[in-house]
Amino acid sequence: MEIIEIQNEIVDEFNMFDSWMEKYEYLIDLGKNIPKISNENKTDDNIIKGCQSKVWLHATEDNGKVNFFADSDAIITKGIISLLIRTFSGQKPQDIIESNLDFIDKIGLRQHLSPNRANGLNNMIKKIKFYAIGFNKKINE
């Protein structure tokens, strides 16, 4: 599936819920099933700054596609990053770089995130694009 399709799928899923509580519960569920980063990759380099909770993010490239792995000590944060991983894992670097991320707003999450967390989210997206840019360079060499 293309990034845009996955995003639409996520928006549809979230639209099924009426209350923020159900959205949060779903997010927590997702968090529990995040593609876990291996312990040796839980390095300081892989920590994303700007969150009250710690977030580690690692990426590998396989056959021109990027795979993401992450973890956090806070479960809601894990849920959020799992949405990002679902969107971007298995995609081509170029597509990641060019993607647009308005689905976060569309699922009505932004208003339930603290600025602190929103800031953390922006940093996660930055880090994901940063990985993609790196792999893109490597592929094109």
Which positions touch other proteins (CB under 8 A)? 20-21, 24-25, 28, 52-54, 73-77, 112-117
Q: How far is the CB of 21 from other proteins (least distance, A)?
A: 7
Closest distance to other proteins from the beta carbon of 30 (Å): 14
C-beta separation of 83 from 108 below 8 A? no
Our CB check for other proteins shows the closer of 43 and 60 to be 43
Where in the sequence numbering do the catalytic residues fall?
51
- Minimal distance, residue 37 CB to other proteins, in Å: 17
Within 16-114, where are the H helices?
20-32, 75-88, 93-98, 103-106
Q: 17 or 24: whose CB is closer to other proteins?
A: 24
User: Rounded to whole angstroms, what are the CA distances from 46 to 6, 61, 71?
Assistant: 25, 16, 10
- Give Cα 4 to chain centroid, integer Å: 14
Q: Which is nearer to other proteins, 126 or 138 (by Cβ)?
A: 126
